Amino acid sequence: MASRPQYPERRARRCARLIGARSAIRARLAALASRPGVVGGKIHDTRIAAICLGHEVTELLSAARDFGLFPELVVPNPLAG
């Protein structure tokens, strides 16, 4: 008898947790957005940082360098060798 197929979304649920914005994130976003250097398109990374920090996520894998504005969030580059 063939085994049941493993769907990627089921495997992802085992090692990852989806998080999103909630009302408590707004205050954190406002505080982060008031930092020097957060202008223009950097607000998108600021929102991601606010969501992560609001959910007590301290590490985010990203190749983006704009997260350097938020030293409380460790952001290793998974593409760096």
- Over its length of 81 residues, how does the chain's per-residue pLDDT go in tens digits? 556 555 555 554 555 666 777 777 889 999 999 999 999 989 999 999 999 999 889 999 999 888 989 999 999 998 987
Rounded CA separation 81/79 (Å): 6
pLDDT score, position 44: 92
Q: What are phi and psi of 59, to 5 degrees?
A: -135, 135
Task: Count CB atoms within 10 A of the CB of residue 15.
Answer: 6
Phi and psi based region of residue 25 (left: phi greater than 0; alpha: psi -120 to 50; beta: remaining): alpha
